């Protein structure tokens, strides 16, 4: 098996980063590596990582001179520093499940994939709250259809070839840097898949960036990602849909809302071309997004 580096960006994560690292390390080979970048934390995140690293030689802290890198900068710094053929992503407040790499790498090699993702088990915000994402796999083609509708895979569950991410240009400084990258990977011919087995326990809490209204507005207004979305629509369905703003938030003009409705219908119509699990996944994604769109634009 090729060597694997698990990349963990961390900011003010002193309470959770040790558990995140240990959860990864317990299922990592001896030649694997855990690389953490401390993104100018104002707490003892770096000290916690150093303490863990003294006990496990596979763990390292990337020195960036205390600079604030931000989400994209931290992701690219880790990608540049990871010298192994395979990389994986984790968040500093999540937990990697014990079978993660065995399951993901098995699927990757069995189907000649470049990148593999998995469903997540959501935990929180309540102490005893837990709910899994739909336990449905996806192959490269079906996943591309899902990416036309939303960010169909979670970044902390990524495992795969570092070269594929670099060939697509790495992360860009856009609000939805993960969805933007997945769509560019699809346009680049990257073979991506999703297991049906959860691999990450993902903590949900009120302070998360993705739950902030300002973030949602920035995603909806993001022109570079909207352009990539139109390109992927054209490459996959043969026509350009101006649907991104309506799919991601309120305030889109009526013609773009109509395009979003048409895109959802067209993607759902292709679901019948796939095996049962992929068919269910595409149709459930389309159905959920259709309801969300009608809730946002009730008179459309």
Count of all residues that appear for the chain in the document: 300
Only one residue has tokens 């898949």, namely 193
**Strand order across the beta sheet in which 86-89 lies:** 59-62, 33-38, 4-10, 86-89, 159-161, 115-117, 192-194
Q: Hey, what domains does the chain have and what are their CATH numbers? A: 1-93 (3.90.550.10), 210-296 (no CATH)
Residue-level pLDDT at 150: 96
The 3-state DSSP class for residue 87 equals strand
Residue-level pLDDT at 126: 64
Q: How far apart (Å, rounded) are the C-alpha atoms in residues 268 and 69?
A: 39
Residue-level pLDDT at 203: 87
Residue-level pLDDT at 97: 96
Largest alpha-carbon pair distance within the chain?
60
pLDDT in tens, the chain (300 residues): 679 999 999 999 999 999 999 999 998 988 999 999 999 999 999 999 999 999 999 999 999 988 999 999 999 999 999 999 999 999 999 999 999 999 999 999 999 999 999 999 988 766 656 677 888 999 999 999 999 999 999 999 999 999 999 999 999 999 999 999 999 999 999 999 999 999 999 987 666 666 678 888 999 999 999 999 999 999 999 999 999 999 999 999 999 999 999 999 999 999 999 999 999 999 999 999 999 999 999 975
Q: How far apart (Å, rounded) are the C-alpha atoms in residues 69 and 200?
A: 25
DSSP structure class, residue 13: -
């Amino acid at each position: 098996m090729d060597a694997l580096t698990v990349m963990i960006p961390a900011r003010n994560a002193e309470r959770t980063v040790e558990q995140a690292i240990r959860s990864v390390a317990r299922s990592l080979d001896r030649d694997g590596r855990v690389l953490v970048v401390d993104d100018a934390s104002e707490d003892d995140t770096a000290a916690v990582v150093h303490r863990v690293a003294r006990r496990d030689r596979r763990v390292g802290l990337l020195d960036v001179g205390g600079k604030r890198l931000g989400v994209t900068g931290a992701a690219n710094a880790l990608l540049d520093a990871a010298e192994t053929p395979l990389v994986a992503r984790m968040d500093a407040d999540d937990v990697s499940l014990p079978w993660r790499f065995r399951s993901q790498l098995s699927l990757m090699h069995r189907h000649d994939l470049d990148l593999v993702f998995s469903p997540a088990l959501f935990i929180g915000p309540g102490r005893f709250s837990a709910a899994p994402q739909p336990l449905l796999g996806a192959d490269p083609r079906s996943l591309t259809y899902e990416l036309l509708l939303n960010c169909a895979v979670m970044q902390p569950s990524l495992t795969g070839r570092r070269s594929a991410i670099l060939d697509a240009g790495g992360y860009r400084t856009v609000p939805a840097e993960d969805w933007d990258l997945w769509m560019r990977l699809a346009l680049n011919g990257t073979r991506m898949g999703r297991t049906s087995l959860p691999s990450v326990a993902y903590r949900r809490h009120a302070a998360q960036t993705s739950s902030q209204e300002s973030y949602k507005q920035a995603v909806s207004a993001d022109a570079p990602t909207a352009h990539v979305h139109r390109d992927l629509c054209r490459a996959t369905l043969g026509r350009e849909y101006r649907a991104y703003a309506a799919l991601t938030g309120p305030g889109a003009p009526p013609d773009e809302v109509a395009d979003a409705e048409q895109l959802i219908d067209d993607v759902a119509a292709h679901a019948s071309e796939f095996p049962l699990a992929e068919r269910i996944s595409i149709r459930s994604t389309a159905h959920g997004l259709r309801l969300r769109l009608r809730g946002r634009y009730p008179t459309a």
